Amino acid sequence: MSKQEVILCTKLETSLARAIEKCQHDKLFILTDEHTSRLCMPVLRQTNYLKEAVEITIGAGDVHKTLESLAAVWQVLSSQGATRHSLLINIGGGMVTDLGGFAAATFKRGITYINIPTTLLAMVDASVGGKTGINFNGLKNEVGVFAPAASVLIETEFLRSLNAENFISGYAEMLKHGLISNTEHWAELLNFNTQAIDYDHLKQLVGQSVQIKEEIVMQDPFEHGIRKALNFGHTAGHAIESLALAENRPLLHGYAVAWGIVCELYLSHIKAGFPKDKMRQTIQFIQENYGVFAFDCKQYDQLYALMQHDKKNTAGAINFTLLEDIGVIRINQTADKETIFEMFDFYRECMGV
C-alpha cells in the first residue's frame, strides 16, 4: 500500500493547491455532505482550483454511510464523465472520507483522491491510514478496501466551529492513541480541558495523535499484526454502535469507542494485568465526558452476536486488542462468552446503568 502524505496545514488553500498539482487529472470532483456543502464550500469555492469542480453532496451522518449513498456517488461520477484519470476530493467527517475513499478506490478500478477532514474524529482517525468502506447489513464498516488517499490535509481551524458532541467524539480516538502509546501522552490527554478548549494546544495534540497512527500504519499497512493496536476499544465499541443503530438510537462513533474502552480496559485488567489505578483514571474521564449508553442483560446475547461479526476474528473466536500497561500492547487476545458477559456487567456497574 502506498504511503499517503499527511499535512498539518498552516494555510489550507496553499496546501490544497500543492496537493492538487501533484495529482495530474482530467476532471475534478468534490464529495461533501449536507453540512460541509453549506459550511465549507462557500469559502473553498473561491480558490481557483475548485471553481470548475463538480460537487457531489450526500446526506450527513452515519445513517447515510450506505450502499445507496455509494451508488449515488458512482452515478454522478459516471454521468459527469469521470475517467480513471479524474480526481476526487472528500471534504467532511469520517463518514465522507470513508465512503468517498471507497467510491474512489472502486470507480473504474480506482481513481486518485484527497481527504480534507473537517471533524476531529476524521482528522485523527478516519481520514488517515487508508481504510475505506461503508456499513452493510447492520454492521459497521462491513464492506470496504484498503486504499490510501494521495494526501490528507488537516486544517484544525475547522474545529473551532465543531459542536461539543462531535469534538468529544473525536477525542475518544485521541484517548485511544494515548493508551496505546505512552504514559506522558495519555496523562496530557486526561488533563486537557475539554470544556474550555485551547485550540493551539489542541493542534499540537492532533499532530501527535496523527503521528502515532501513521507510525503504526507504516509498520503494518494491511492490519496483519501491530495495526490491530488501533482497534483497542473497538470490538466492544462497534457492537454497541451496531446495537444502537439497530434500535434506532444512533451514536456518534467516538462515544461508542469510549464505552468500548471501558469494556476492554476491564478485560485488559483481568487478562493482561493492566494497572487498576490507570484503568480508574481513564474510566473517570469517560464518565465525566461521555455519559452512558444503557443496555440490560437481556441484550448481552445480541451484543455478543454482533461481536462475532468483527473483522479481526479468526476461527470463530472473538479477537481483542488488550493492554498490559499503557503502550504495552497485546494483540490477538480472546475471551470466552462468560468473560465477555462479565465485561458487560462491569460496564453497567461502573457506568451506573
Q: What is the pLDDT of residues 37-51, one digit of tens each?
A: 999 898 888 888 898
Model's pTM, two decimal places?
A: 0.93
Angle among Cα 287, 333, 121 to the nearest 5 degrees reads: 45
Using the predicted structure, report yes or no on whether residue 180 has a pLDDT greater than 70: yes
Using CB atoms within 10 Å of the CB of residue 335, give its burial: 0 to 12 exposed, 13 to 18 middle, 19+ buried.
Answer: buried
Q: What is the pLDDT of residues 143-165, one digit of tens each?
A: 999 999 999 999 999 999 899 99
What is the average per-residue pLDDT within 180-201? Answer: 97
- Report residue 237 as a C-alpha cell: 465499541
Best CA proximity match to 255, nearest among 129, 350, 130, 164: 164
Q: What is the pLDDT of residues 312-344, one digit of tens each?
A: 787 778 999 999 999 999 999 999 999 999 999
Say how far apart CA 236 and CA 313 lie, in whole Å: 13
- Report residue 54 as a C-alpha cell: 463538480
Mean residue pLDDT across the chain: 95
Question: Is 74 within 8 Å of 107 (Cβ atoms)?
Answer: yes
Say how far apart CA 318 and CA 259 lie, in whole Å: 18
Angle among Cα 108, 112, 117 to the nearest 5 degrees reads: 125
Residue 2's pLDDT band, with cuts at 50, 70 and 90, is: low
Sequence letter at residue 293: F
Using the predicted structure, report yes or no on whether residue 1 has a pLDDT greater than 70: no
Question: Is 246 within 8 Å of 138 (Cβ atoms)?
Answer: yes
Question: Is 235 within 8 Å of 310 (Cβ atoms)?
Answer: yes
Question: Is 308 within 8 Å of 232 (Cβ atoms)?
Answer: no
Question: Is 119 within 8 Å of 58 (Cβ atoms)?
Answer: no
pLDDT at 79: 98
